[in-house]
Amino acid sequence: MNRLKNSGTQPFKSHRVFNNWDVVAKGWYLVCPSTDVGPMAAKSVDLCGQRLTLFRGEDGRVRAVDAFCPHMGTDLGIGKVVGNSIQCFFHQWRFDGRGACVDIPCTDHRPEAARTHGYATDEKYGFIWVWPEVEAPEGVPEYPELAGQEVVFEAGRPTYYPCHHHVCMINGIDAQHLRTVHNLAVDMQLDIDESSDGRIVDYLMRGQWSDETRRERMLRRLFGAHYAYRMRYVDGTVGLLTTGLEARIGPNGPPVPAFRMIFAFTPLAEGQTRVQPIYVAPKGTRLREQLVSRFQLFGQKRGYYFLKDEDGAIYSNIRFQNGALLPIDKAVAKYISWTNRLPVSRWSTTHQHDA
């Protein structure tokens, strides 16, 4: 890990949670496509340093437990799904989705140690997600304005970066790099709002396009003089981006529908993060509304890959430090402070988890 480099001249600053590979915050972690776990099937996966077994019961629900049988350590992923439980291949002990042992064939006695840990799961946007505790406070994040509505969604190609996912998440709120990397001479107003339970932090950034760069002049002609976008972070694992909040078709045309994109950040192993983009739009009932939704998905995808390639070189070659932040870095400083207050899960290797 490059955090060990230059220790004599640039010692690495560690945090309680932020950019700390030894800590896993409580949050939803995207694991794999739903199609990877078929009916009455099991699959073991590695997630955040844990080995988990996912299995789909006869009721169609996916459940997740620690992968190693507490009897003699066989990987439950090679076992058999029986009803809504997973049966170990070796001695046929069975466990439910909460980790409780429900059957031992050779005896009616179940020792206290005959249990494993179970974890909350959810299926949304075509993926299986896991929460690192047996119960989650609510489901996978969604856009509040789309709650209860049918949506269309499309998963983009995931990107892999050799840095912590908290560092990748900063990209959406770093005002300086819009000018230096993306050649957008923006002068934005920033509003930050944190939820009362501390799980969510919202960034609303707005301003006017300048005439300094060719890229901004093009955006002004296409979408009007004003811009605004919102970045919502949930639990330090999911980002919900909304762009085009004040965009118009041309300088004085009708409003442009908002573009929405979800980022699921999954630490795969120390030193590597997977970023899964998911494009989301309201489904609509009329043909015109459905065509607009498809336009939104297409526009989101094009915009993301347009900027992603420019950012790629940064996050593939970074050892993040925050020793010399400026006033313009207010959004970044807030994000670091917020993540350091997130509750810690039992998956963490060096911290007592928060109850």
Domain regions of the chain by residue span: 15-131, 144-339
Alpha-carbon distance 179 to 221, whole Å? 19
CATH number of the domain at 15-131, out of 2.60.40.10, 2.102.10.10, 3.90.1640.30, 3.40.50.300? 2.102.10.10
pLDDT of residue 319: 84
pLDDT for residue 224 is more than 70: no
CATH architecture entry for 144-339: Alpha-Beta Complex (3.90)
Residue type, 81: V
pLDDT for residue 235 is more than 90: yes
Residue type, 330: K
Query: What confidence tens digit (pLDDT) does each residue in 275-317 have?
Result: 999 999 888 666 666 566 666 666 666 665 555 666 777 888 8
Q: How many C-beta neighbours within 10 Å does residue 323 have?
A: 7
Task: Assign 22 a pLDDT band (cuts: 50, 70, 90).
Answer: very high
pLDDT of residue 265: 96
Query: What confidence tens digit (pLDDT) does each residue in 63-88 have?
Result: 999 999 999 999 999 999 999 999 99
Share of the chain above pLDDT 90, in %: 54
Token reading at 45: 């996966």
The answer to whether 27 touches 338, Cβ cutoff 8 Å, is no
Residue scoring higher pLDDT (227 or 238): 238
Q: Residue holding tokens 């799904």?
A: 81
pLDDT of residue 320: 86
Query: What confidence tens digit (pLDDT) does each residue in 116-165 have?
Result: 999 999 999 999 999 999 999 999 999 999 988 888 898 988 999 999 99
pLDDT of residue 174: 86
pLDDT of residue 212: 73
Mean model confidence pLDDT for the chain:
87
pLDDT of residue 303: 60
E-assigned strand segments in the chain: 29-33, 42-47, 50-56, 62-66, 80-82, 85-87, 94-95, 101-103, 118-124, 127-131, 151-155, 159-161, 189-194, 200-208, 226-234, 238-243, 259-269, 272-282
Nearest to 165, CA basis, from 310, 29, 308 = 29
Query: What confidence tens digit (pLDDT) does each residue in 187-216 have?
Result: 668 899 999 999 999 999 887 767 777 776
Task: Assign 340 a pLDDT band (cuts: 50, 70, 90).
Answer: very high
pTM of the model: 0.90
